[in-house]
Structure 1
Amino acid sequence: MAKVDELTALIDPVVTGMGFSLWGIEYIRSGKYSTLRIYIDHEDGIGVDHCADVSRQVSAVMDVEDPISTEYTLEVSSPGMDRPLFTLEQYSAFVNEWVEIKLKYAFEGRRNFKGVIVGIEESDVVIAADGEEFLLPIESIDKGRVIPNFS
């Protein structure tokens, strides 16, 4: 998590300076190769050219600052309709929406939850799943993602 915080502090000013918001960052290490995935958002939407422009700017900063010592692939993307959720504020914005949540460790014998966000209580995401309500601490969530509703 410290690495993601370091990368966020480095990348956020670049993204916001270009007129976009930084939705979130995923840093995935796999042996000697890594992937740095940056999600950007804008009220008017995100296009391929936006992603390419941000990628060039972030890449230049990464070359100068060199926060990742191994080889890595830089990906810049829109969060999309099945957007990943990173913060309590993002979960709060999707109250009454269906989500999939994977925990870092088992809670009441399970790590995976699929249900509706009921709300936020302090630092917990409240989700209704399988006829029950669960309070999931934000720090225990490994991944969360909105399930798009096409109806």
Structure 2
Amino acid sequence: MSWSQAVERTVTGLGYELVDIERVVGGLLRVSIDRIPGHAYPTGEHEFVTVEDCEAVTRQLQHVLEVDNVDYARLEVSSPGLDRPLKTLESYARFVGQQVQITLKLPFQGRKKYEGLLANAEEGDGWQIIFHDGKVDQVLDFAFEEVREARLVPVLDFKGRRGKTGQAADAAESDKTTDGGQEQ
């Protein structure tokens, strides 16, 4: 069994998804994991990977890699981040309806990069990305094999952090207008 198979077996055996694995110059072994929706974890019910998840996987991988005599200098286990790569058909299916950025292997109509909403193709086993070209919405059908790289587009929502000062500013702004929306 190869070192990558040992890592995959260990990560999936602990109930996590192996998102990415790479061996970097200098002996760094980098492993990205994600939680599987609907799976119960001993570290609690969180939507995202926690530090405790990474620690648990790290401890188990250190034992497995030592037993398998895998040569590495450092092990780094982390979440895939907000711009999570989509590397499997299962991850495409999981994130249908989300904003993604894809880079095609070969250009289509002069471009390789597209950003938009990921959808299942209307016909067949392929995929679609629905994007706005500056004038109208466009749909690009593509096959998994045609993609060099695909990632989620990070969605940051800071409204939850505004607190009372932001709410007070909103209330003051709404007091300035009349029913017709004209400022007094």
Q: TM-score, normalised by structure 2?
A: 0.61
Q: Which amino acid aligns with 2:20?
A: I
8 Å contact from structure 1 (residues 21, 41) kept in 2 = yes
Match of 1:56, SS?
Answer: helix
Could you tell me which residue of structure 2 aligns to residue 27 of structure 1? Answer: 22
Could you tell me which residue of structure 2 aligns to residue 106 of structure 1? Answer: 106
Larger radius of gyration: 2
Could you tell me which residue of structure 2 aligns to residue 126 of structure 1? Answer: 128
Structure 1: any 5+ residue segments left out of the alignment? none
User: Percentage identity across aligned positions?
Assistant: 28
Could you tell me which residue of structure 1 aligns to residue 153 of structure 2? Answer: 147
Higher relative contact order (CA 8 A, sep 6+): 1
Pairs within 5 Å for 1:6-85: 7=4, 9-18=5-14, 20-27=15-22, 29=24, 35-43=29-37, 44-45=45-46, 46-66=49-69, 73-85=74-86
Q: 1:126 to 1:55 in 2, by over 3 A?
A: same
- Kindly state the Cα deviation for residue 54 of structure 1 after the two structures are TM-superposed: 0.6
Structure 2: any 5+ residue segments left out of the alignment? 38-44, 158-184
Stretch deviating more after TM superposition (124-133 or 33-42): 33-42
- Kindly state the Cα deviation for residue 42 of structure 1 after the two structures are TM-superposed: 4.5
Q: 1:41 to 1:21 in 2, by over 3 A?
A: same
Determine the C-alpha separation between the residues in 1 that align with 2:156 and 2:6.
Answer: 36
* RMSD (Å), alpha carbons: 2.9
Q: 1:42 to 1:124 in 2, by over 3 A?
A: closer
Determine the C-alpha separation between the residues in 1 that align with 2:125 and 2:21.
Answer: 21
Could you tell me which residue of structure 1 aligns to residue 87 of structure 2? Answer: 86
8 Å contact from structure 1 (residues 123, 138) kept in 2 = no
Higher strand share: 1
Matched length:
141
- Kindly state the Cα deviation for residue 127 of structure 1 after the two structures are TM-superposed: 0.9
Determine the C-alpha separation between the residues in 2 that align with 1:11 and 1:36.
Answer: 11
8 Å contact from structure 1 (residues 83, 145) kept in 2 = yes
